[in-house]
Structure 1
Amino acid sequence: MSIEWVNRAVDDLRAWGRAQGLDVDVDEVRLLCDYASDYLDVHELGDFTPVAFEELLLNIYPRKVIAPPESAPETVAAARTLVDFLLDTEEIGGKMANRMRSVLDRIEPEMPIALADTSRFGMAKSLFSAMGADALEKGVVLPVSGLSVSGADERPVAEECDCPGCSPLPAVRLAPPETLARDAARVPLLTDARRLVQWMLAGGRTPTVKGRLRVRDAAEATAQLGVADPGLLWRLAVHTGLVEVQGTAVFDGDGFDPLEVWAAAVEFVVEKDTGGAVTGDVSLDEELYGLCDMLYRLQAPVPVSLVGDYLEEIGLVDDGGIDVPEAVRRLAYCGLVEPGEEVLELTPLAVWGLRSLYTGLGMEAPEAPDLAAADASELIEGLLSGMPAEAAETDIRAWLANRTPLQAAAELLGAVSGAPSVARGVAVTIVDRLGPEAETAVRAFLGDAELRPHAVHWLTSRGLSAPALTQEEVLWMSVDMLALAIPAAEDDPETFAENMSASGPPAHLIEEMWRVDHPEVVDVLELLGRSLRDHNVAKAARKAAFKARSRAIG
């Protein structure tokens, strides 16, 4: 994760590149510095060594960074640029630079092999890679960040590491505190821990001098209480404050509220050395933080089979190895995942607990706002932030329920007058759910050049009187709606190509699109040119894109 010295180094590198007339791959060098800082105790540029480069490119990158093997030459080239920069700024001497270059020469043919070796992948990287590059975008409503809904400007997107484990945590939707507290009080792991504490206190039993459960008491607890692992439950009770141990004496805990106890329980389960007592396997217990972190970031169910495939791939599942269904059952018992045979998904309690853990570690873990009470601009911006489709749908329904159709249409269309096409598309899509009761509000935007075609289409599709669209307006609306599809088309070009084959604009319309005064007309035509399956129509799109670029230059 970037720290101050990395930011300064990148700024200096940019200035150095400009002075040298070099096209420096700043993003790749930043990634090298970030990982060196996080994993190799590199605290300044002068701390880089040949061994650091070897560890970065042949060990850390294969474990942490989702990158195809063919990207290795770009990374090695960036490392060579970094060496030149270090030498030129006298952070290292000539002999050290030569040693570094020699190491990079040896690394270059080895790095693609290392990136392709799935046995080296960490848990999060393996699962993200197996799910595909678009895993984070599945089921997401128009994932566009940095958008200014007002249209006055667009905020630049900060440079970030591409690794899922180092990327910023997504905003998450939290359940109401009263619901979380009620559910925390019912987690089987915690209820069994409380039963064990009460049993110990009622029987006047004492722990060992180190505060652990005596073997005799553990055996009796298993027989009398029916708990599978009383040793784990006792350690959990001590960690969460359910019981206080002073020497060999035990006392009631401090009476923390259920959520405080639950937060401590999550920390214990995913971070402490539990020796396989949580999942049934030592190695999987050690991977538990990475697995939970991945589920938190995805905000989507992950097939259990995919987790099993990964565990098998790294040798944790074989004859006599991990029983994956049993591990999932244990995680459900701990309150971390929803019980199910097909997919793995965090419980609302687990989401809350992990966020509490992250914030305790000093990480920024944003909470997604309740969009039902937001104004139209905030609703649109929230929907564009990349939330899961189910949450987005809930927010839209709740937002509409608080307004009449007339109010909703007026607020939504008013919020995107003059805004970028992606924001306009979100507003128009929601307004399209409204019935004829919204007519007056929609009709009020017939005078807005960008919203007029959409307003006419809305009125006409409901059998209401509307002016006829000119050919120019038809073209403009076609480009505007296709611009909305660009993010999804880039993520899933095959599906986009299928949709265009079935219901895309005809060739004669595409040929004329270059005349449209729309800021994204070139992007739309280039997308059509590489996506359409009809060779002649695709060629027409490419020609139109050339004309549109020439028109813009002229």
Structure 2
Amino acid sequence: MTNRRTRPAPRPPAGTPGPAELANRARASLADEVRLTRWAAEHLGGGTGAPHPRTTGTLPSDAVERAAGELRLTPGQIRAAWDRARLAGLVEVHGTSARPGWRLRAWDSDDAAVLRGWVALFDAWSLIHPAPDGVAPAAVAEVVEAMPQLLSLLQLSAGPVTVPALLDLLGQRVAELHDERCEVPYEGPEDEAAGPAPDTATLSRLLRWALGALAAVDALTLGPARATLTPLGSWAVWVKLEQICVAAQSPAGNIEQPAANMLLGCARLTPGPARAEYRAWLAARPVGSAIAELLQAARGEDALLRGLAFEALRVVGAPAEPEVRAALGEPALRPYALLWLAEHEGADPEDAQDVLTREEQTWLWVDTAAAVADHGENELLVRHLDSAVRTTVPHLLDEVRAVGHPRTVQVLVALAAAHPDPALAKAVRRAAFQVHTGGV
């Protein structure tokens, strides 16, 4: 049996084009999307690229008609191109407005940015077309979860694979997913959460949908009852297989772990190796379920997981924006979400703190101190206190007491125990006592 930690990384397919040629293929794949985004920047933003007040998640109807006429595309093609442009990061939606993304500015000169944009679209293939009507969402989710195995078969085959062979593999993989969840078929009402495995007819419909969506992003081509990966699709699958194998060989090796365990496993890694672990973990999962799992980990009591989860979400990028924006309504996640969105919109990480109110900055300072107290060393905790941007320690303590963080007492007690200055430690202990007793 092959040791999971010594599994060899897959070799790129024979004849795989080089990065420059792959980037040009990606540019060709997204040519209409780039044309439309540039048209929108010029005609809807007054030529400045500024967001248009009516340009939100979807283009206004009059803009669709104008763009269709000027770009010689149908209205349906314009709407589809706009959606694809958003998924590829060419368009960024911020609140109630949209504007060209940084990737569009780099489009003609940065091959890596182009390929990342196309991979973002590839990762979001299941959002390109609506799933078939009348199919349970759980069945759709299972097919999305099973598709990486089918894509691996297509990549390893280095040629056409028949649809019956893909359907057979899909059925096997869905059955395995039910076995892994210990779901026993039974006669009776369908389980609302998962239900019985989809029948062959349903799987066939879902397979046609999945193959069509992947063809729409130029990841594969469809022939009579067969499918073949394009050079771009083959390269993307190889990259993801390589990420998985590299993670399996790494000291962390967290790819099979749930989000919370993976994040804790990355806690002591430097930023570069940690991002590599995040990418490999994400590559092994449907992007939607990965985002949900990371945010669920962030909602727990461990403050360290909150910060790490949002670091992993930075690796996810644009596909995470709707869920991160929704997290603004959760007090424990709001400061992290605000910083994530500010950086996603182009703010320098050093300036991103400016989007937080004074209270939000204080809450985040306490949350970070809680993470250090639970997982760090005394010296780090003392440095965290010294790094606080406040006029005086008493003023900081007043703000900390007022912000109402649930870990305030524990943080202050840990700070008092760690700080070498007896007078300052005494003041911190007094503040902890006041918070604990509700005094002033």
**TM-score interval w.r.t. the shorter chain?**
0.3 to 0.5
TM-score when normalising by structure 2: 0.35
Give TM-score scaled by structure 1 length.
0.28
Structure showing greater radius of gyration is 1
